Amino acid sequence: MSFVTTEDGAEIYYKDWGPRDAQPIMFHHGWPLSADDWDAQMLFFLGKGFRVVASDRRGHGRSSQIGTGHDMDHYASDANAVVEHLDLRNAVHIGHSTGGGQVARYVAQYGEPQGRVAKAVLVSSVPPLMVQTDANPEGTPVSVFDGFRSALAANRAEFYQAVASGPFYGFNRPGVDVSEPVVANWWRQGMMGSALAHYEGIKAFSETDQTEDLKAISVPVLVTQGDDDQVVPYKDASLKQHELLSNSTLKIYEGYPHGMLTVHADVINPDILAFIQQ
């Protein structure tokens, strides 16, 4: 397996498939998953001639279960370590959920200043700020995230089963067929990672204000989300991202859930390809 070691000793696992001279696409996964969550996208874009790269966030998947650095700054720095190790240039960075926050901070603080980024895609992503504050009254109350932490600490396996079989893919909606293999794969990825990284990651994805990250990005960005996202409310996420970004395209999918990249890959993948090829 391939790893890069960060300055603080975290070992970050990554996949790197396809021609080394092709345009690279780097994928940034959501909480509490791994690079495996991008299987449908990596195979699709590999088949279209791209070089595809994905890493496991620190404490997630096959990356080391380091006890520190579970915050957006380290997430972005770790992504930069992979990019620099592979010397990715003219890259497209695609992030889902927490991975969208990772993309926003990476592009704003590393990728764009270094001239390495061509475009970015934010899918069902957490910026600019999830938690409710005086300045963000329409955000999600902190009590909701406290509930996540309590459930994770009490019985992580049970909590992850409930998330995957319920709101993440919209499997709790009337008339929706539940895919047990999809649920099992989500659970498998989650349980591979560190309970500590996942516990502290809740604060990272919910309380990190990324308003300035979004304002700093000038490369073209596709902002996309489902309007039935029960995990990241789209009115507090994609709509605000589109307002704050200077060069964005907004696409909202009617009735699509948070995990639309998996259950609607046949629609999402071609739309992302069209954006990249514009």
Looking at the annotation, which residues are catalytic?
97, 229, 258
Cis peptide before 32 (omega within 30 of 0): yes
Cα 210 from chain centroid? 14
**Whether the Cβ atoms of residue 215 and residue 105 lie closer than 8 Å to each other:** no
Q: Residue 56 and residue 54: Cα distance in Å, rounded? A: 7
Q: Does residue 103 contact residue 120 with C-beta atoms inside 8 Å?
A: yes
Q: Residues 6 or more apart from 159 whose CB is under 8 A from it?
A: 148, 151, 152
Q: Cα–Cα distances in Å, from 171 out to 9, 180, 243, 256?
A: 39, 10, 30, 11
* Displacement of CA 195 from its chain's centroid (Å): 18
In whole angstroms, what separates CA 129 from the centre of its chain? 14
> In this structure, what token pair is assigned to residue 133?
């504050």
| CA distance to 23, 24, 125, 158, 202, per residue, from 45 (Å) | 10, 10, 21, 34, 30
Nearest to 30 by CA among 208, 232, 243: 232
Query: What is the C-alpha to C-alpha distance for residues 107 and 100, in angstroms, rounded to an integer?
Result: 10
Q: Indicate the angle between helix axes 195-207 and 98-106, nearest 10 degrees.
A: 70
Q: Which residues pair with 117 in a beta bridge?
A: 91
